[in-house]
Amino acid sequence: MLDHPEEIHPLFRGAPRTVAFKKLRKRIVRQTREAIEQYGMIEPGTKWLVCLSGGKDSYTLLAVLHELKWRGLLPVELLACNLDQGQPGFPATVLPEFLEKMGVQHRIEYRDTYSIVMDKIPQGRTFCALCSRLRRGNLYRIAREEGCSAVVLGHHRDDILETFFMNLFHGGRLATMPPKLLNEEGDLFVYRPLAHVAEDDCEKFAAAMRYPIIPCDLCGSQDGLQRQQVKAILDGWEQNSPGRRQTMFRALTNAQPSHLLDPLLFDFVALSRDAETLR
């Protein structure tokens, strides 16, 4: 990769020159490009709404997508978008100032969904489901207003794994966040280009680049969330057997319907012995 100031996107200027960081950056860019190609995300000439929360994952997403576009490998227009949900103490100036400095096309939208969540959710209950639903509805609206074909999210490999186990343990189904999804209305795609990228890599990358991280004070302070419980289980497995996360993630790409129990995925009733072989 080229590192001359005039040949690099501003989001990568000041990047560490260590071998370790260069390997990290190359791995994240390669894995993102692979996911984009593998799941057919590119429609040349379209426009993507890149959702930016201010967390490590969304900063990584923003930087890598602009890197790919800078290299001529992502022929789409990118519009960064932050939805300010009215959380008390949210540093509203951080993202606009950062995006202006980086020369990134963006839109900042204010919608006080925080008050709605606090009014609707009883004390002691988790906010995530309603907060996510309200955020998604607003992002779809913004995408339509901006003429975007897709809403692009920063969910990574570990988010996908955690969602799978949450559905397994609490929902009684085998399902997770797909890398590519068509919304219910059928007019917008939802993309997750970091689907192959490890959370640890996002954290290392954002820290090395010194991006101004904004924590999620709304749900991050809640204890006992199902996702946190699942994350702790996965952390334990990874500690005892390094590489376990990647093995489990690979399993999600290698489903065998005939070896599961869903008759809607595999026609067990029609399965029969070969009469000729039995004679």
- Rounded to 10 degrees, the C-alpha dihedral 28/29/35/36 comes to 150
Domain that holds residue 34: 5-278
Tally DSSP H helices, then E strands, for the chain.
10, 6
State the pLDDT at residue 41: 98
Contact 61, 154 (CB under 8 A): yes
Containing 78, the helix (H) or strand (E) segment is: strand 77-84
Position 184, amino acid: E
Mean pLDDT by 10 residues, the chain (279 residues): 59 91 96 98 97 95 95 96 86 93 94 79 71 88 97 97 94 95 96 98 96 72 69 95 96 95 95 68
- In this predicted structure, what is the pLDDT of residue 7? 60
Alpha carbon 168 to its chain centroid, in Å, reads 20
Structural domain total, the chain:
1
What's the pTM? Answer: 0.89
Query: SS3 of 49, please?
Result: strand
**For residue 122, which phi and psi values (nearest 5 degrees)?**
-60, 155
How much is the pLDDT for 224?
Answer: 47
Residues in the chain: 279
Residues 6 or more apart whose Cβ sits within 8 Å of residue 161: 176, 234, 245, 248, 249, 252
CA 131 → CA 25, 26, 78, 139, 278, distances in Å? 32, 34, 25, 12, 59
pLDDT for the residue numbered 61? 98
Measured on CA atoms in the order 88, 89, 93, 96, is the torsion positive or negative? negative
Environment class of 163 (CB within 10 Å of its CB; exposed 0-12, middle 13-18, buried 19+): middle
Domain harbouring 49, CATH code:
3.40.50.620
